[in-house]
A and B are shown apart, each in its own frame.
Chain A
Amino acid sequence: MDNAFILSIIAIIGSTLRQATPLIFAALGGVFSERAGVVNIGLEGMLTMGAFFAVYGSFVTKNPWIGVVFAIIAGAATAVIHAFLSIHLKAEQVISGTAINLFASAITSYLLMVLFKRQGQTDGVGTPYYPKDFMGKIPIIGGLLKEINWYVFIAFGLVILANYVLYKTPLGLRIRAVGEHPRAADTLGISVYKIRYFCVILSGALAGLGGASISLSTTNLFREGMVSGRGFIALAAVVFGNWKPAGAMGACLIFAFAEAFQIVAQGFGWTLPTEFYSAIPYVITMIVLAGFVGKTISPAADGVPYEKGEK
């Protein structure tokens, strides 16, 4: 194997990891929310809010890490709306999520005007410092490490953490119980509302972090429409991943790999319409997942509002 080949492999892996990261954050959020029984179509909107407020936080405080904190808070705050509508008011969860998506894109373009006095996009801001040169010097894996950023580490760390919380802790058991059979959980003294609120807000915080990984990583500004449907891809990854953190991560990685591959494939010089290449990630993801995942089972009470005292 020659050097150029290895380098291009590293480039593809790097690109895969970078592109998978925001998806993984949002998908983890989706897993928590849906495991507790609340469908979260609003991931896209929460990503958008996170992306915007990450840039705003970095812009105002000149500290990109505070921008990341802003993003998490903004995502969580948006999720409070979703939680209130779907848990408290028992609204149709798909409608509430859709409303959040519409609301997020409108409010961010309005705030862009008010806070930045700009149309369409903000100016560039500081992004979290990543010691590229230092990482590049690490033997063997240095070539890959310098291609990625902190978010990639955080995302994979969170997958492990989420897996642990959901399957090895009492809290995880409660979350799963609330999503499967809220009445049974309720009779055992678990507060269904509290768990659901917690999970929906957590999903917003995760999606907000995902938003920061879109606007404050390789990119250093917010632009309208920059989230470009990643929230919906993440939502699909939740389903394909069978509502499991590791499964969702796998689905995100497959999609991101296919995306990285199609970018390279555009240069093969096949005379195909570019729309064909754009479709590759979706087609590959579907084929792989349909072939390997098999039947997925959603949490039994997913999307069903819980009515206390109802028979």
Chain B
Amino acid sequence: MKKILSFVLALTMVMALFVGCGQKTEPTEGNKPAEGQQKEEEKPKIKIGLATDEGGKGDKSFNDAAIAGLEKIQKDYGIEPVILESKQNDQYEPNLKNLAEANDLVFAIGFKMADATKKVAEANPDKKFGIVDEEVKLPNVVSIKFKEHEGSFLVGVVAAKTSKNGKIGFVGGIDSPLIQKFEAGFIAGVKSVNPEAAKDLESRKNVRYAASFSDVNKGYELAKQLYNSGCDVIYHAAGGVGIGVFNAAKEMKKYAIGVDSDQALTVPDAKDVILCSMIKKVDVGTYTVSKDAMDGNFKGGQTLELGLKEDCVGISPTVNPAVSKETLDLANKYRDEIIKGSIKVPSTLDEAKSFQPVELK
């Protein structure tokens, strides 16, 4: 009797799990049914699913941006994306598996899901997959990566133009090729406007690494030391450590530059010290890949490198009044040159060192 009871209970709990999933997806479904149905006949309908990482819906940054891309697809093509939130690492694989069963195109958001994506994509060779921020080399997976160095170049221009004394700092999270991409692009941007100011960045005299992405107080100490040594603008690529950079900037009445999202909006009490932020538009990534899949030219096996040309990185919409119009115009000129291909932005520190600055007026 006991056994039967526990079995029934277990079954009920499993059912409850699925009920939960069903309800969660409801709001995304049928948001715009009328508009959707009109366009339905024009395009072959495919089903799209997306699995977030632990950030989940409402993180105001990475995952929300990815979902926004699909919401745009929903508006334009009238399909109903299914979104599953992963709360723990071990949910990546089951979530992707579930999505792959019912959908034609599945997105995995975040580099942490690379292994899970690889496994599920191998097991479902007839389905299409997209992964953000990491490369998975399989014929049915498109990897979406960003040219963070190109965006960092532009904020480097802003930093060098706005700095009064030509002393500019950089605070990184964990010293790794990814963060060095930010650093390299930033150095090149500074170098283009003020080669003298870039010297201390190149020699890493004005570069600090926190060895963490979450130790806020460490960020404060690092930034405070940089500001004390004379820097008046600091660019951070350090996640939560950057909050500490903003706090130090507030206290010392200096400036900082944000990263990933428009941080003047996401960290509102620091908006006075944030010159601007280098943003990554994950939504454009998910939108582009979905659109390609709709139009029948899904680029499986390829790695998309989205940069300025695709308008996927760049300066945030919110810009501090301390940044002059002239500075922004100059940054835009550099953007145009980079898009044209006449400036190749370095993505490693070695390349940044040998980068020949191009001066634009």
Give A residues with C-beta under 8 Å from B: 7-8, 11, 15, 18-19, 22, 117, 119-121, 123-124, 214, 217-221, 223-226, 228, 259-260, 263-264, 266-269, 271, 273-275, 277-278
Contact = CB atoms under 8 A, between A and B. Distances in A.
B60, B206, B221 interface centre (most CB from chain A within 10 Å): B221
B302 interface: no
Interface in B205-225: 205-209, 211-218, 220-222, 224-225
B244 A219 contact: yes
Interface string B220-262: 1110111011000000000010011001100100000000000
A238 to B, nearest CB: 21
A164 B297 CA distance: 76
Contact of B221 (A18, A267, A269, A275): A18
Interface string B164-177: 00000000100100
A263 B221 contact: yes
A263 B225 contact: yes
B269 interface: yes
B208 A266 contact: yes
B56 interface: yes
A267 to B, nearest CB: 5
B244 A123 contact: no
B341 interface: no
B329 interface: no
3 A-B pairs closest in CB distance: A225-B214, A124-B269, A278-B211
A278 B207 CA distance: 14
Contacts of B58: 117, 119
B204 interface: yes
Contact of B56 (A7, A119, A124): A119
A226 B59 contact: no
Contacts of A260: 221
B267 interface: yes
A8 B208 CA distance: 17
Contacts of B59: 119-120
Contact of B215 (A228, A266, A274): A228
A260 B55 CA distance: 32
Contacts of A11: 224-225, 228
Contact of A220 (B212, B218, B248, B269): B269
B203 A269 contact: yes
A220 B247 contact: yes
Interface string B279-301: 00000000000000000000000
A15 B209 contact: no
Given A221-B243, A226-B240, A267 B214 contact: no
B259 to A, nearest CB: 14
A275 B268 CA distance: 32
B88 to A, nearest CB: 10
B214 A224 contact: yes
Interface residues of B, number: 40
B282 to A, nearest CB: 15
B244 A119 contact: no
Nearest to B214: A225
A226 B60 contact: no
Given A18-B217, A223-B240, 9 more contacts: A18-B221, A119-B56, A119-B58, A218-B220, A219-B220, A219-B243, A225-B214, A264-B225, A275-B175
Contact of A223 (B55, B224, B243, B269): B243
A19 B205 CA distance: 22
A274 B209 contact: yes
Nearest to B63: A119
Contact of B240 (A8, A120, A274): A120
Nearest to B228: A11
Given A225-B214, A266-B208, A219 B247 contact: yes
A124 B263 CA distance: 13
A219 B216 CA distance: 7
Nearest to B209: A274
Contacts of A271: 204
Interface string B286-327: 000000000000000000000000000000000000000000
B175 A228 contact: no
A263 B220 contact: no
13 contacts: A11-B225, A15-B225, A124-B268, A218-B244, A219-B216, A220-B247, A221-B243, A223-B214, A269-B203, A269-B204, A269-B205, A274-B172, A278-B211
Contacts of A218: 217, 220-221, 244, 247-248, 251
B287 to A, nearest CB: 22
Contacts of A220: 247, 269
A277 B270 CA distance: 29
Contact of B228 (A8, A19, A278): A8
B208 A278 contact: no
Contacts of A18: 217, 221
A120 B212 contact: no
A268 B229 CA distance: 12
A183 to B, nearest CB: 44
Contacts of B206: 267
Contacts of A121: 240, 243
B240 A15 contact: no
Contacts of B220: 218-219
B335 to A, nearest CB: 30
Contacts of A264: 225
A123 B269 contact: yes
Contact of B208 (A7, A214, A267): A267
A22 B59 CA distance: 29
B322 to A, nearest CB: 20
A217 B226 CA distance: 19
Contacts of B211: 274-275, 278
